[in-house]
Chain A
Amino acid sequence: MRRAAVVLAIVLSHLVPAQSLASAEPPDGRQAMREMLQAYYYARSDGKAAVSMRIVSRQGHARNRRLTMLRLDQADGGEQFYYVYFHEPADVQGMSLLVMKRPGKEDDRWLYLPAIDLVKRIATSDKRTSFAGSDFTYEDVSGRDLDEDDHELLGEEAVGESRASVVKSTPKRPGEVEFSYRKFWIDAATHLPLKVEHYNLQGRVYKVYETQEIQTIDGTPTITKSLMKDLDNERFTEIAVQDVSYDGGLTPDVFQERTLRRPPTSWVR
């Protein structure tokens, strides 16, 4: 009898997805969102990427941004350092940005203007502001705190060839953001977001994020092409990511004022 119970347990353990055994709580929206934030914004412990952005207006006019981004995590889901160096357009070339992301608090953000050698501290109360004039917000680029929203698992859907969990995230403090809720399609295999719909206060989709390409880099699934469409203004921003590397040995001393004045040549090329 006892032996039968062991066999049954082994059989069952193969039938039930490993995911639900690994975590104590049942698979819910919050858990799916936590995994997404982890896979998307906290992949490995540090990362470097060359980012190209193309912002296309309703009239078809394009603006291009080219930047190098360095990231170092202090703790998974916790504090993070970001360093951004702008290569293009020409009039911002040489500008750089330093961000200390502190979940639950305002980020510390510094901007360096090389023409006047000025290190400027930037107020960051509004994280919904656009990042570098694109359709992505600061929060889209560096992640929105898990605790800012209630996350509800709506079910599973196929997105292209992938199976995705559908999660509805509703802000806990609705007055602070321009959307009433967001709907995420989170890839079951990689935990990366495949699609995000933003719903306005009337309940209509007005902004759509789509992942266009995922590459496995150094064993880590990475979004290398993505698109944010602003349906109201009929414009979009494409982001392409190249030269991605992980765990290259970034240290906290890279993320300080000196680096703003003098880009680290071993990282920014």
Chain B
Amino acid sequence: MSFRNAPYADHPRRGFADGVRLIPRLWLIAVSLGLVPGPAFAATRPEIHPHTKRFGAGVHGFVEAAYGPKFLGDERTQKDEFSLLEQRLQLKTRWQPTAAWLASWNPELFYKGDLLIDEYDEAVRYEIREAYGLVSPVPWLDAKLGRQILTWGTGDLLFINDVFPKDFVSFFVGRDDEYLKVPSDAARVSIVHPWAALDLALIPFFTPNAAITGDGLSFFDSLLGRVVGEESERLLTEPSFQPDQTEVAARISRNLSSYEVAGYAFRGFFKQAVGTKNQDARELFYPELAVYGASLRGPAPGVGGIAYGEIGYYDSLEDRSGKNRLIENALMKYLAGYERDFPNDLRLGVQYFVEQMLDFGDFTASFQPGDVPRDEVRQLLTLRVTRLFWLQTLEASCFALYSPTDDDAHLRPRLTWQASDRWKVVVGANLFFGTHDWTEFGQLEENDNLYVRARYSF
């Protein structure tokens, strides 16, 4: 997770029909009520239904209602009492053309889109999550073209070489983990070879992380030097759409017996606006970035479980010397993690994450009053505890992040009840603790929230 000191700004991508206000609360109530005597509960089908459907045939998806009240009633943000109130319809479908002349390319088209009634923003939005074509012109190559989710790396909610866009707003207000990842409009080529696999992603259309604007979550505005809400108004300049601005991300990976080894390279831009273009005009931008890294993952010798490590060098291309106080310095990032399972469906995971600012001397030398103080080394510890109950239909989990250097923490307790094959109810909370207003989690202290989601899948 790397959105520290990020000057958040308005998310530029908005769907159509902003401001269309419906009255979906009735629908929400209907869903909630429908939950109890739902038809799925009566389903004791006499026979196992056979394998008749073709792979991927038909349309799948879900409807979901979500509500997330705030603990503290933060008055800085757009709504005081809640941070999440929405209803969502997701539809997805896969189509595999069977035309003979295409067959050898094994083509596939996939679409997944969300219709969202967002009562927080008072808007109806339509978001295409994925829409891509996939072909294999030769047996050892897959090409995926279009809007897609890109993920790689080894961390559990901590990212080093996964430089693809994220949505921490969704993450902090209690949406499903799926919405942490923001799709990229990209071309991805995967080449498999007995020696190694190569993945290459070309992203011509820059997509930043979804920004915390102050509308939904209050945060520390580095330009104002305090925690702000709606009044934060900043201008964010994205890199222009030009061929030479295309982002390139590559991974080369292979398995050595039970161990996965990978090397990564990236050339593009920071996904957070960590550059200040014009302080008075409150104008920020996304500086150029190159990342080089590696990861290793496999069984922990002797003790059982999975151990992993990842490293990344963030080369801040527009401030390589570290002398420019308006642009983020180069960084080294390190991650070590360990996960194992225990009897009775108990699972534990721990991670240790270090972010080291390079050229720290230049940072302190150019530091001016009002700038956000930083340590050279920031450490982060995470603990994940997951246990399943009721014959694996109830999952209790807690993900805790604690930074001894920033003296802040974030807790994510969650209960997921798979009431039936179709109904799922999730209750959870996002809690933030901190000593200082400007640290990653400390700035979000006023945003503690509880959330409940009910989902019907089909």
Of A106, A125, A268, which is in contact with the most chain B CB atoms at under 10 Å from its CB? A125
Contact B149 A235 (CB under 8 A): no
Over the window 284-307 of chain B, the binary record of Cβ atoms lying under 8 Å from chain A Cβ atoms (1 yes, 0 no) is: 000000000000011100001110
**Is the CB of A200 closer than 8 A to any CB of chain B?**
no
Contact A87 B106 (CB under 8 A): no
Residues on the A chain within 8 Å of B142, using CB: 258, 261-262
**Is the CB of A108 closer than 8 A to any CB of chain B?**
yes
How far, in Å, is B43 (CB) from chain A's closest CB? 6
**Is the CB of B422 closer than 8 A to any CB of chain A?**
yes
**Is the CB of B192 closer than 8 A to any CB of chain A?**
yes
Contact A52 B341, CB 8 Å, known A62-B45, A63-B421, A133-B393: no
The stretch of B174-182, B214-222, B313-321, B436-444 in contact with A is B174-182
The residue on B at minimum CB distance from A262 is B142
Contact A116 B180, CB 8 Å, known A90-B457, A100-B258, A263-B55: yes
Residues on the A chain within 8 Å of B44, using CB: 56, 60-62
**Is the CB of A162 closer than 8 A to any CB of chain B?**
no
Contact A126 B343 (CB under 8 A): yes
Over the window 251-269 of chain A, the binary record of Cβ atoms lying under 8 Å from chain B Cβ atoms (1 yes, 0 no) is: 0010011100111010011
**Is the CB of A130 closer than 8 A to any CB of chain B?**
yes
Contact A90 B422, CB 8 Å, known A64-B48, A115-B149, A242-B50: yes
**Is the CB of A233 closer than 8 A to any CB of chain B?**
yes
**Is the CB of B260 closer than 8 A to any CB of chain A?**
yes
Residues on the B chain within 8 Å of A89, using CB: 421-422, 457
Contact B181 A116 (CB under 8 A): yes
**Is the CB of B345 closer than 8 A to any CB of chain A?**
yes
How far, in Å, is B439 (CB) from chain A's closest CB? 27
Contact A123 B347 (CB under 8 A): yes
Residues on the B chain within 8 Å of A61, using CB: 41, 43-44, 420
Query: Contact check: which of B55, B178, B299, B347 meets A268 at CB < 8 Å?
Result: B55
**Is the CB of B96 closer than 8 A to any CB of chain A?**
yes
A202 and B398 alpha carbons, distance in the complex (Å) = 35
Residues on the B chain within 8 Å of A262, using CB: 108, 134, 142
Contact A106 B420 (CB under 8 A): no
**Is the CB of B54 closer than 8 A to any CB of chain A?**
yes
Contact A116 B149 (CB under 8 A): yes
Residues on the B chain within 8 Å of A56, using CB: 44
Residues on the A chain within 8 Å of B190, using CB: 258, 261
**Is the CB of B13 closer than 8 A to any CB of chain A?**
no
A263 and B179 alpha carbons, distance in the complex (Å) = 23
Contact B424 A91 (CB under 8 A): yes
The residue on B at minimum CB distance from A269 is B55
Contact A90 B458 (CB under 8 A): yes
Residues on the B chain within 8 Å of A54, using CB: 45, 48
How far, in Å, is A115 (CB) from chain B's closest CB? 4
A52 and B47 alpha carbons, distance in the complex (Å) = 10
A74-131 interface (Cβ within 8 A of B)? 85, 87-91, 93-94, 100, 102, 105-106, 108, 115-119, 121-126, 128-130
**Is the CB of B339 closer than 8 A to any CB of chain A?**
yes
Contact A126 B341, CB 8 Å, known A66-B51, A257-B197: yes
Residues on the A chain within 8 Å of B62, using CB: 90-91
Query: Contact check: which of A60, A63, A117, A122 meets B148 at CB < 8 Å?
Result: A117
How far, in Å, is B58 (CB) from chain A's closest CB? 10
Residues on the B chain within 8 Å of A66, using CB: 49, 51
Query: Contact check: which of A64, A100, A115, A128 meets B421 at CB < 8 Å?
Result: A64
B322-343 interface (Cβ within 8 A of A)? 339-343
A217-267 interface (Cβ within 8 A of B)? 233, 235, 238, 240, 242-243, 253, 256-258, 261-263, 265
A62 and B418 alpha carbons, distance in the complex (Å) = 12
**Is the CB of B150 closer than 8 A to any CB of chain A?**
yes
How far, in Å, is A72 (CB) from chain B's closest CB? 16
Query: Contact check: which of B48, B151, B347, B392 meets A130 at CB < 8 Å?
Result: B392
The residue on B at minimum CB distance from A267 is B55
Residues on the A chain within 8 Å of B255, using CB: 256
Contact A64 B49, CB 8 Å, known A56-B44, A117-B181, A121-B260: yes
How far, in Å, is A245 (CB) from chain B's closest CB? 13
A191 and B142 alpha carbons, distance in the complex (Å) = 43
The residue on A at minimum CB distance from B53 is A87
**Is the CB of A50 closer than 8 A to any CB of chain B?**
yes
Query: Contact check: which of B96, B154, B178, B197 meets A265 at CB < 8 Å?
Result: B96
Contact B306 A129 (CB under 8 A): no
Contact A258 B304 (CB under 8 A): no
Of B51, B340, B424, which is in contact with the most chain A CB atoms at under 10 Å from its CB? B51
Residues on the A chain within 8 Å of B108, using CB: 262, 265
Of B108, B154, B457, which is in contact with the most chain A CB atoms at under 10 Å from its CB? B457
Q: When A and B form their complex, which 7 residue pairs have the shortest distance between CB atoms, in order from nearest?
A: A89-B421, A90-B457, A50-B51, A91-B457, A133-B392, A117-B151, A125-B304
Apart from A62-B45, A91-B62, A129-B343: 10 A-B pairs, beta carbons within 8 A: A61-B43, A63-B420, A105-B299, A108-B258, A116-B149, A125-B340, A125-B341, A130-B391, A133-B391, A240-B48
Interface CB pairs A-B, < 8 A, 24? A53-B48, A60-B44, A64-B45, A64-B49, A64-B421, A87-B51, A89-B422, A90-B458, A91-B422, A106-B299, A117-B150, A117-B151, A118-B151, A119-B151, A121-B298, A125-B304, A126-B341, A129-B343, A133-B393, A256-B255, A257-B253, A258-B192, A261-B190, A263-B55
